[in-house]
Amino acid sequence: MNNIIKFPSVVKNSRDNDDLLRVQAQMMILDYEMKKFKSYNRKLSDNFIACISGIIVGVVLVIITNSLT
């Protein structure tokens, strides 16, 4: 009978249940932090691609204007 899963609505102030809730909260926080980190990395890579493409466009424009004169 000890291996029954305890839920907060059924058992109150149980040490096992508190530990389970604490672990679930930590997992949720970790999941949130990972998603935040992934979106931050995606923004960084998008900015990097935009910067590189801007440099390429600038170089091409300089080459074109130099060839026209």
Domain boundaries, the chain: 16-69
Is the confidence at residue 1, as pLDDT, over 90? no
Is the confidence at residue 67, as pLDDT, over 50? yes
pLDDT in tens, 14-63: 666 777 888 888 889 888 988 888 888 778 888 888 899 999 999 999 99
The CA distance from 45 to 50, in Å, is 9
More confident residue, 6 or 49: 49
Tell me the backbone φ, ψ of residue 39, rounded to 5 degrees.
Answer: -70, -35
Ramachandran quadrant class, 11 (left: phi over 0; alpha: psi -120 to 50; beta: rest):
beta
The pTM score is 0.43
Please report the pLDDT score of residue 55 as a whole number. 94
Q: Where are the alpha helices (H) located in the chain, listed in sequence order?
A: 15-68
